[in-house]
Amino acid sequence: MTSNEIHPLAIKAALYRQAVLGAVPVLFAHDPQLEEERGNWNFGLKFVTAGQESIGLQFGAGQAAWETSPQGKGAATLFFLSDRHLVGLFEQRKWAVPLFLPGPQTIRGLFHFARLAKRLDHLTNPKSSPDLNPTDRQVALRVLLEISLRGSVVLSERMPSLTKSFPSNREVFMELGVKSMGYSRFLSWNGRVLRMESGTEGHRPSVRLFFRNEEVALAALSERLDPQAAVGLGDIEMEGFFPLADALNGVLSRLSLYLRPI
Amino acid sequence: MNTASPLSFEKSMELFKRASRVVPGGIFGHTTPAMLVPGAFPYYAIGGEGCRYRDPDGNEYLDYLCGYGPNILGYRHEEVDEAAREAESGGRCFNHPAPIMVELAEFLVDRVDFAEWVVFGKNGSDMTTWAVSVAREKTGRKKVLRARESYHGVDPWCTPGQGGVISEDRAHVHTFDWNDPESLEAWFKKHPNEIAAVILTPVHQPLFKAAQLPGEGFFAAVRKVCDRYGALLILDDIRAGFRLHEKGSHAYLGVSPDIICFCKALANGYSISAALGTEDLRRTSERVFLTGSYWNNPGPMAAALTCLKVIQRDDVTAKIQALGDALANGLAEKAGEYGFSFECTGPTSMPYFVFADDPDQYLNQRFCAGLIQKGIFLHPHHNGFLSGAHTGEDINLTVAAAGEVWDEMRSEKRP
């Protein structure tokens, strides 16, 4: 490994911090199982790894927020000695138990988070998808799409070699969505890295990729779909600058190398 | 040409559904529907003649792609097909090459003025990759320079795909800017005794983008730099071969490379490629192992010999250039009538058409999807090709049909 390459463990840890934890607010906002209790959750969690960026999840007022370098004092802290320990926790290695630094509502907060984690695991596990009811399927899709797009941002930042196919001379927006849900998310490429976007600032996306329905989207995001065949069949609708779709696929297809099957 | 009810691609789609179960991608490579406007184009072809071909749904198309270039004389050219049939009447794949190989080799060496020998393969990639190896063997150097976004085939050192490529495959392959001799020479100054070759196409045709002709003096400057630093110049004439000049694009450029690679239009659709080189590289070329089970089959060689003779006899290169000019001018003028700016980039015998202010190809995709419904095949993302089978009437039909599509488009809401 050259000095320019980042250790796979560091990439995994970044993906868990930014992509998987980053998707928790999406799960919290849309999971019907939380509908009645959403408003009662009031706690914070910090994920701190020695020498790395801290991540915070704040639950309150019916909403959840993910943030980097959280400043709030009223949060319970899970402290990891290294990326290896953080990854171990997410990959359910029994030895990977973080150190706890309690805050208000620690026990209740950890209990809630453990439930959320279990729910996240269930919804994102490809083995579960055939049995998901329609509502859960839509939640799973929102979460998987969030993880995928956030993950692509992480990979673009840490593995520039994956982004060589993106255009070097212009900023572009990309739209990915599920046609049957009328739901889409946006990414931008600024010549160096990918970024999550809330919209396209009024510009037409340079490429638009839409899965025909939830079933197709779930299969694609769980790597159970042949994407090129799906395009030919019309299960994935594509218009605009096709090389961008190909470039993005090149990044997204790497996620499963680092994350447990999602 | 179909002008009545909308074209159906039902049988194409049925075939594709079956294929999707047993072929990765359904159709892989450059003919994947994902390169066209998926769902708006046929996916399979069953036959053709001249400049037209048919799909399984019974639709017929006036074609401007020629099978991605090879069919320079048109589909099923009788003389070429007869030569191939005759050559294989005794069989196809033997333990040795057939005498036709000698005839074809002599013809090509005679035709390509700087060359003293020729080797044969099947695909363009066979030749470009082999030529790079010859350059490395000759110079003892590793590095190869190519123009950014150029296409030279599908081997790991140059494939446009990302999958399966490791950094070591490209460690000694570097890019410079097309039409910028200074960006080329910068590499030589940085690595003065390390560059084995510069490989270039005569026209720059990046995928999904406007084509660019060489600027005045560009190739002469490249030749000079190569000579100064002891690197080989490889001309990748796979795509443009015999479409810019009937003897090869080096004649069009006025610059002799050290190796020239041909494929596509060499044999009007029969699978054969060739690389020709200078006497100085003869012994080196022998040391670079080159072979394939089907490479000596006589049919494609006979087809190539006849194809090249017909190109010369019927002045096909000049004809397709004139037709290309008529097409480009006609379309540009017609587009203007409907408020669109539509121009041909690159040589008109291999046109790549672009709309103004359409960097993401939305207009081009809409236009080509509309044109196919009129029974005219123009690829939205790849340069087109004219053939010796096209006529002035075909051009007129195309321009008229394009006008109909632009008439539809101008009334559509545009973002």
- Chosen from B362, B368, B412 to mutate, greatest number of chain A CBs within 10 A: B362
Whether pLDDT at B170 is above 70: yes
Residue A262's pLDDT is 44
Residue A72's pLDDT is 66
Which residues in chain B are contacts of A247 at CB distance < 8 A?
Answer: 162
Q: Using an 8 Å Cβ cutoff, are A240 and A205 in contact? A: yes
Look up residue B269 and give its two tokens. 């659709």
Whether pLDDT at B184 is above 60: yes
CA torsion, ordered A153, A158, A162, A167, to nearest 10 deg? 60
Which residues are registered as beta bridge partners of A237?
A210
- Pick from A133-142, B16-25, B48-57: least confident: A133-142
Q: Which of B147, B128, B126 is nearest to B290 (CA)?
A: B126
Query: How many residues comprise chain B?
Result: 415
Q: Which of B244, B259, B256 is nearest to B199 (CA)?
A: B259
Which residues in chain A are contacts of B36 at CB distance < 8 A?
Answer: none
pLDDT band at A16 (very low <50, low <70, confident <90, very high): very high
pLDDT band at A260 (very low <50, low <70, confident <90, very high): low
What is d(CA A52, CA B87) in angstroms, rounded to the nearest whole number? 71
Taking residues A10-39, what's their average pLDDT? 93
Taking residues B350-354, what's their average pLDDT? 97
Whether pLDDT at B413 is above 80: no
Alpha-helical regions (H) of B88-197: 100-111, 124-139, 167-170, 181-190
Max mean pLDDT range (A111-115, A248-252, B76-80)? B76-80
pLDDT per residue as tens digits for the range B240-265:
999 999 999 999 999 999 999 999 99
Residue A6's pLDDT is 75
Q: Using an 8 Å Cβ cutoff, are A56 and A23 in contact? A: no
- Chosen from A231, A244, A249, A253 to mutate, greatest number of chain B CBs within 10 A: A231
Residues 6+ apart with CB under 8 A from B75: B47, B48, B49, B50, B51, B52, B53, B63, B67, B269, B389
Please count the other Cβ atoms lying within 10 Å of the Cβ belonging to residue B283.
Answer: 10
H or E element: which one contains A228? helix A227-233
Whether pLDDT at B322 is above 80: yes
pLDDT over 90 for what percent of chain B? 95
Rg over alpha carbons for chain A, rounded to the nearest Å, is 18
Interface contact B26-A240, CB threshold 8 A:
no
CA torsion, ordered A67, A71, A74, A76, to nearest 10 deg? 60
Residue A1's pLDDT is 40
Interface contact B24-A228, CB threshold 8 A:
yes
Whether pLDDT at A99 is above 50: yes
pLDDT band at A73 (very low <50, low <70, confident <90, very high): low
Residues 6+ apart with CB under 8 A from B228: B188
pLDDT band at A111 (very low <50, low <70, confident <90, very high): confident
Rg over alpha carbons for chain B, rounded to the nearest Å, is 22
Whether the CA torsion A225, A227, A231, A237 is positive or negative: it is positive
Nearest-CB residue to A241 (from B13, B16, B361):
B361
Whether pLDDT at B342 is above 80: yes
Interface contact B13-A233, CB threshold 8 A:
yes
Q: Which of A25, A37, A239 is nearest to A142 (CA)?
A: A25
H or E element: which one contains B199? strand B195-200
pLDDT band at B3 (very low <50, low <70, confident <90, very high): very low
Residue B152's pLDDT is 98
Interface of A with B in 126-165 (CB under 8 A): 161-162, 164-165
> What does each C-alpha distance from B23 to A228, B55, B160, B162 come to in angstroms?
11, 20, 21, 19
- Chosen from A242, A251, A253, A257 to mutate, greatest number of chain B CBs within 10 A: A242
Residues 6+ apart with CB under 8 A from A206: A172, A173, A174, A240, A241, A244, B359, B360
Q: Which residue has the higher pLDDT, B50 or A4?
A: B50
What is residue B50's DSSP assignment?
A: B
Phi first, then psi, for residue A152 (nearest 5°) are -65, -35
Which residues in chain A are contacts of B210 at CB distance < 8 A?
Answer: none
Which residues in chain A are contacts of B354 at CB distance < 8 A?
Answer: none
pLDDT band at A5 (very low <50, low <70, confident <90, very high): low
pLDDT band at A261 (very low <50, low <70, confident <90, very high): low
Whether the CA torsion B209, B214, B219, B221 is positive or negative: it is negative
- Pick from A168-177, B38-47, B284-293: least confident: A168-177
pLDDT over 70 for what percent of chain A? 95
Whether pLDDT at A10 is above 60: yes
pLDDT per residue as tens digits for the range A201-223:
888 999 999 999 999 998 898 88
Whether pLDDT at B2 is above 60: no
* First-last CA distance in chain A: 27
Taking residues B292-317, what's their average pLDDT? 97
**Interface residues from chain B to A (CB-CB < 8 Å):** 13, 16-17, 19-20, 24-28, 32-35, 37-39, 43, 162-163, 167, 207-208, 359-362, 365, 381, 415
Whether pLDDT at B89 is above 90: yes
pLDDT per residue as tens digits for the range B90-105:
999 999 999 999 999 9
Q: What is the mean pLDDT of chain A?
A: 88
Taking residues B395-404, what's their average pLDDT? 98
Interface contact A243-B360, CB threshold 8 A:
no
Burial of A78 from C-beta contacts in 10 A (0-12 / 13-18 / 19+):
buried
Whether pLDDT at B48 is above 60: yes
Residue B284's pLDDT is 97
Residue A129's pLDDT is 75
Interface contact A233-B26, CB threshold 8 A:
yes
Which residues in chain A are contacts of B162 at CB distance < 8 A?
Answer: 162, 164-165, 246-247, 250
- Pick from A102-111, B123-132, B362-371: least confident: A102-111
Residue B162's pLDDT is 81
Whether pLDDT at B393 is above 90: yes
DSSP string, B108-125: HHHHSTT-SEEEEESSHH
Taking residues A165-188, what's their average pLDDT? 92
pLDDT per residue as tens digits for the range B5-18:
689 999 999 999 99
Chain A closest-CA separation from residue B112 CA (Å): 37
- Pick from A1-5, A43-47, A81-85: least confident: A1-5
Whether pLDDT at B299 is above 80: yes
Whether pLDDT at B326 is above 70: yes
